[in-house]
Amino acid sequence: MKIDIVMACGPKSEQYTPFVIDNMLSTATQHELSFILPTHRCNLDFLKNHPNVKSIIQMPDDIKDSQHSASHAHARSVNTSVKLIESELAMIMDYDIAFLTRGWDVWMVDMFNDQQVGIVGTEYLDSMRGARKYLNYPTVILSMIRTRLLTDHKIDFNPRHNPICISTKEDSLAYGRSIGATVQPDSGYELATKLRPAGVKAMTLKYIHEGGALPMGQNFCEGPVLANHMKSGSIQTQETIDTWKNLVSSYVKNNQ
């Protein structure tokens, strides 16, 4: 099966994207991967002849700097790129997440043999660094999705600026939180707030708070699939980036 992958690329992605593409291609065992790369404040033109790179889109740099600018740039990149998806199943992912186990593609695609499953991906958890977000549903960090759901439900990846306090049963269901809780509708929040109320079944890769596969980044696991998200890739030092890549490569090599 062909799978189009939207990887939203921002600052410092030159240091990650070739590595992550190679990681995914070397750990996928059955399905054909094509990458759509929207770029913001980075230059990935050196990948334009890569056989698995379907498109590189240079996004405009016209979003004013603010605490929300990175989220808006990310969301705009994804909103623009999903229009180029041609495969029945697609992936949406950050540029600083890698797989640690071979055959992740088979496991994820096989989840869709259940016709009620519409999305498979990494979860949010309060123990993860950052704002409190929706729970128990796949996220924009990394998700495989039935492409038609993006258009059928008019998914907009833009964030909302202000946290909301959940006050209705409908919002409680959508965000996976109790009434009275506060939640930040960050980039991609409509994956949960539109798909879950519509009855779209999901499979999540669980966040491992302690004792995960790697001693840095965010570790996720479900079934035979392990993945690691560097987190805040654009602000990491070169030493940290190199250490992360070496850890990922060593784990994959030693756990074939």
| Residue 210 exposed, middle or buried by CB count within 10 Å (0-12, 13-18, 19+) | exposed
Please tell me the predicted confidence (pLDDT) of residue 63: 79
Please tell me the predicted confidence (pLDDT) of residue 65: 76
In a domain, 212, yes or no: yes
Q: How far is the C-alpha of 232 from the C-alpha of 98, rounded, in Å?
A: 14
**Residue 178: how many other CB atoms lie within 10 Å:** 8
Please tell me the predicted confidence (pLDDT) of residue 141: 97
| Domains held by the chain: number | 1
> Is 137 within 8 Å of 193 (Cβ atoms)?
no
Q: How far is the C-alpha of 92 from the C-alpha of 145, rounded, in Å?
A: 8
Bridge partners of residue 6, in order along the sequence: 36, 92
User: Given the structure tokens 């030693």, which residue do they identify?
Assistant: 254
Q: How far is the C-alpha of 193 from the C-alpha of 95, rounded, in Å?
A: 24
In a domain, 177, yes or no: no
In a domain, 45, yes or no: yes
Q: How far is the C-alpha of 2 from the C-alpha of 252, rounded, in Å?
A: 24
Please tell me the predicted confidence (pLDDT) of residue 12: 96
Task: Please list the rounded mean pLDDT of every run of 10 residues in the chain (256 residues).
Answer: 97 97 98 98 97 96 78 92 97 98 98 98 91 96 98 96 94 97 96 98 95 95 97 93 98 93
Q: How far is the C-alpha of 227 from the C-alpha of 221, rounded, in Å?
A: 7
**HEC assignment per residue over the chain:** CEEEEEEEECCCHHHHHHHHHHHHHHHCCCCEEEEEEEECCCCCHHHCCCCCEEEEEECCCCCCCCCCHHHHHHHHHHHHHHHHCCCCEEEEEECCEEECCCCHHHHHHHHCCCCCEEEEEECCCCCCCCCCCCCCCCECCEEEEEHHHHHHCCCCCCCCCCCEECCCHHHHHHHCCCCCCEECCCCCCHHHHHHCCCCCEEEEEEEECCCCCCCCCEEEEECCEEEEECCCHHHCCHHHHHHHHHHHHHHHHHCC
CATH code of the domain covering residue 59: 3.90.550.10
Residue 117 sits at φ, ψ, to 5 deg, of -75, 125
In a domain, 77, yes or no: yes
Which residues constitute the domain of residue 215? 2-158+188-254
In a domain, 229, yes or no: yes
